[in-house]
Amino acid sequence: MEITKIQENIRKNQEKLQKNETLLQKRIEKAVKLSQWLKENNISSKEEAHEIGYRTNNWEAYDNFEYVENWLSRINSYKDENDIKHYGNERNTFESEKIEKVKQAIETWKERLVKENLIQNRIKNLPESLKSMSEYLNQIWSEYEINRKSNLKQEYEKLGYKEFFKKYSCEAYNHIHKSDEEIIKEVALDVKFSILDLLNRVSEVAGEVEDWECIRWNGKALNGTLKGSKNNVRVETIVAGGYNIQRLHYRVLVHKI
């Protein structure tokens, strides 16, 4: 997920937190205020409030009593976000739990922001060999997926809805309806995580890599050796797949030497 989207989620949850806290406080203050008003006017039952409203045609007392009664009833029962009713918990405890959930969501998004910043920094500082590999994978994978969309679309038009689903998956049907821009964006994400996975596997065996100068991308494969803080390693690429079979992919092996 892009950093800007994570930041936007943090902002939205912070706004939600403030709104929930403010709303809870207002509800409590209103219930306390109206309870005091009822006490001062010697109104102790709904029937009394109704009688005053009927006699004076002023339903303020009834409305106030109803609000307080409704609030008090929520102390003993409430519905959660899944519309499931619960009993025996205080309403303000439930509201506080909702607020706590938002706080936890904010912390989760902040953690994701830190991780995404690290990922972006790692991608930005890729060695030249991996940058070349990344560019190549983006190109050939995008071409393959766009070509696959075209072929699937022809199949759908030939077979029709029912027959198409007998032969192909839901993913294939959804792929037909993606724009080229969406496909390119998805491929870029696949490439990014493929490169990160390679970096992580190299780090597991080699430790901290001092330099990548001896790793070469020859236009089709990544091969070579490198020196790490734990071990020296040899990188070897196995190529598999291709057009009309499956998306061309690379299995990069990391050997300790």
8 A C-beta contact, residue 225 and residue 234 = yes
168 pLDDT higher than 80? yes
User: Does residue 36 surpass a pLDDT of 90?
Assistant: no
Same domain, 136 and 81: no
- For residue 242, name the pLDDT band (cuts at 50, 70, 90): low
pLDDT (0 to 100) of residue 243: 55
Domain boundary among 89, 117, 145: 117
Give mean pLDDT, residues 194-214. Answer: 88
Per-residue pLDDT for 139 more than 70?
yes
- Do residues 65 and 49 touch, judged by C-beta distance below 8 A? yes
Output 230 or 210, whichever has higher pLDDT: 230
Same-domain check for residues 24 and 139:
no
* 38 touches 48 (CB < 8 A): no
Q: CA of 137: how far to CAs of 17, 82, 145, 182, in Å? A: 42, 44, 12, 16
Is residue 105 domain-shared with residue 130, that is, in the same domain? no
**For the chain, how many structural domains are there in total?**
2
Residues 134 and 208 grouped into a single domain: yes
- Of 45-49, 121-125, 133-137, highest mean pLDDT: 133-137
- Structure tokens given for 206: 């080699």
87 plus 135 within the same structural domain:
no
What does each C-alpha distance from 136 to 132, 171, 190, 222 come to in angstroms? 6, 25, 13, 11
The whole-angstrom separation of Cα 204 and Cα 191 is: 20
Classify burial at 141, counting beta carbons within 10 Å of its beta carbon; exposed 0-12, middle 13-18, buried 19 or more.
buried
pLDDT at 90: 45
> Domain limits at 51?
3-117
Does the structure show a pLDDT above 90 at 71?
A: no
Mean pLDDT of 162-187: 93
| Angstrom distances, CA of residue 187 to CA of 97, 137, 140, 180, 201 | 40, 9, 10, 10, 21
The residue out of 83, 117, 151 marking a domain boundary is 117
Q: Domain check: are 145 and 248 in the same one?
A: yes
Looking at residue 88, its pLDDT comes to 45
Task: Clarify whether residues 113 and 130 are in a common domain.
Answer: no
Higher-confidence position of 6 and 243? 6
pTM listed for this prediction: 0.60
pLDDT at 246 over 80: no
Please answer whether residues 208 and 228 qualify as being in contact, where contact means their C-beta atoms are separated by less than 8 angstroms. yes
One domain for residues 33 and 71: yes
Predicted local distance difference test score (pLDDT) of residue 91: 47
3-state class (DSSP) for residue 225: strand
Which whole number is the average pLDDT over 189-203?
Answer: 90
Q: Where is pLDDT greater, at 108 or 128? A: 128
Q: What percent of the chain has pLDDT over 90?
A: 26
User: Which among 156, 151, 148, 190 is positioned nearest to 173, based on CA atoms?
Assistant: 156
Does 134 share its domain with 252? Answer: yes
84 & 168 share domain? no
Output the average pLDDT for the chain. 80
Alpha-carbon span 196 to 192, nearest angstrom: 6
Per-residue pLDDT at 9? 79
Please give the residue that has the higher pLDDT: either 88 or 168. Answer: 168
Question: Does one domain contain both 87 and 189?
Answer: no
Same domain as 144, residue 239? yes
Last residue of a domain, which of 117, 150, 176? 117
Q: For residue 69, which of 81, 77, 80, 79 has the smallest C-alpha distance?
A: 77
